[in-house]
Chains A and B, each alone.
Chain A
Amino acid sequence: MPLRLLKNAIDPRPDARFFTQPERLKKRYDVVIIGGGGHGLACAYYLAKTHGITDVAVLEQGYIGGGNTGRNTTIVRSNYLTPEGVKFYDQSVRLFQDLSDDFDLNIFYSRRGHFTLAHTDSALRTMRWRAEVNKHYGVDSEVVGREDIAAACPELDLDCGGHLPIQGALYHAPGAVVRHDAVAWGYGRGADRRGVEIHQKTRVTGIRVDGGRVTGVETDRGAVEAGAVVSMVAGSTPRITGMVGITTPIVIHPLQACVTEPLKPWLDTIIVSASLHVYVSQSSRGELVMGASLDPAELHSTRSTLDFTEELTDHMLDLFPFLGQTRLMRQWGGMADMTPDFAPIMGTTPVAGFYLDSGWGTWGFKATPVSGMTMAATVASGRDHELIEPFNLSRFERFALVGERGAASVGH
């Protein structure tokens, strides 16, 4: 338990503010991180804490955690399909489990168990495949039958009204939900205390490259020199890579989510159905947090649509018919930076000193700690950390993709 909780029980004075607000940008930083979401702040945190690099500026065009960090559905899991993915996300789950103590801040890490439902024989085959890869790398996953699903979630209609009966599921006991804002704040405060400058409302408008090496960035508050520049901007990645003249396979699609009005607690697991393209968990406030597949066409926007809620609620009622009278309360969207193989694009690039942490599509929040850790190590050494070597941008030229589509998303 974070000690701060005890202190607050005894001492009535409010906590100090989380972040100092540096007045002006310095002329030069060793490292400039573009993007003050979970990934950017985690990278700053590990640069300062693990590598002793504190001359770091995090530049955020809006406010901390206001992008995809605050728009995801907060699920953390490591039951991926490829060895590269399983090892990477397993490290992330382990880091998440220690974060509350690390930060001395309650991130509301809540282990729920995670069911990925299989409605067809072919889906069940993929679940067996995932379970075997997971077990091989020490990740707790197993295929379970209908009776196990019914015992864990008696409210579920296992026959889905008759048209897509559930055959079984991949059960992943470590699956958890986390308060996503607290993750960004915890990393931000930890970085701030170690000397990192966090500049909000500071938009990068250009990146200076000289002789194939990055030398600094231009912002709407003036130019700064930089020894290294790290792009950790999710849905804005194509704009940033355009500034250094490199292309990537990334295209942007909106990903939407929504919550219901608060209900009494009844759902203590996370339920995912790829065939029905929905996933759901119940938050500690009682709201059902629900997501579905990507919007079908490329778009740089966080707008919401009625098409999305119509399709999602239709499928939710297949799983949970008793929710027919429940009302939706909020709906929102984020910009997902999608890659062809549903794996991220991370590490070194053809431009010396320019690093990418991108291609986080619909799977980025759960990777926040491990992305920060591995990107910090990559920036500190100038070489890709071994966990992210398979995710380098150059994999596409080598036709060495990391096919993660069967496990990273419900949109297939």
Chain B
Amino acid sequence: MKLIDCPSIGPRPAAEFVYGGAWRPMPDPDACSDADWAHYVFHRDGAPGVRRELWYHGPSGTWLVAERDTLSDRFLRTTSLADAVAEEGDYA
């Protein structure tokens, strides 16, 4: 069974987690151009590699940021969203 390390309660079965998409900086919607906003809304870095993603652990109600390799499906590191925001700022 695949396990993911929940920052709140430790390794849990992957089936308890929900994928929340890429975690990435948001441009200021009032300051950026329409083209830049469209790019942020729709475009993604879809190439394989290590990505930072939002995941949600349902049973403990924890949002987390995971570093995951989208080629091998290996989770390299998980941090609670609160810690990630404290480190890097709020990506909204």
Contact = CB atoms under 8 A, between A and B. Distances in A.
Interface of A: 237-239, 242, 247-252, 296-301, 303, 307, 337, 340, 396-399
A403 B19 CA distance: 23
13 contacts: A248-B46, A249-B46, A250-B44, A251-B44, A297-B68, A298-B70, A299-B70, A299-B71, A300-B48, A301-B72, A337-B46, A340-B42, A396-B38
A252 B48 CA distance: 9
A242 B47 contact: yes
B82 interface: no
A247 B45 contact: yes
Nearest to B43: A247
B87 interface: no
A297 B71 CA distance: 12
A68 to B, nearest CB: 16
A397 B34 CA distance: 8
Nearest to B20: A297
A298 B38 contact: no
Given A247-B44, A299-B71, 9 more contacts: A237-B46, A238-B47, A238-B48, A252-B48, A297-B19, A298-B19, A299-B73, A396-B38, A397-B34
Given A296-B19, A301-B73, A248 B43 contact: yes
Contacts, number: 59
A238 B44 CA distance: 9
A303 B51 CA distance: 19
Contact of A239 (B39, B47, B68): B47
B73 A397 contact: no
Nearest 3 pairs of A and B residues by beta carbon: A238-B46, A297-B19, A300-B48
Nearest to B55: A297
Given A297-B19, A298-B70, A299-B70, A399 B46 contact: no
B85 interface: no
Contacts of B68: 297
A399 B70 CA distance: 28
B76 interface: no
* Residue from B18, B34, B38, B46 whose CB has the most chain A CB atoms within 10 Å: B46
B19 to A, nearest CB: 4
* Residue from B18, B38, B51 whose CB has the most chain A CB atoms within 10 Å: B38
Given A296-B18, A300-B70, A300-B71, A396 B43 contact: yes
Contacts of B47: 238-239, 242
A205 to B, nearest CB: 14
Nearest to A252: B46
Contacts of A337: 46
B46 A250 contact: yes
Contact of B48 (A239, A247, A397): A239
Contacts of B45: 238, 247
B35 interface: yes
* Residue from B15, B34, B72, B73 whose CB has the most chain A CB atoms within 10 Å: B73
Contacts of A237: 46
Contacts of A299: 70-71, 73
Nearest to B66: A297
Contacts of B44: 247-251
Interface string B44-65: 1111100101000000000000
Contacts of A247: 39, 43-45
A298 B51 contact: yes
* Residue from A297, A337, A340 whose CB has the most chain B CB atoms within 10 Å: A297
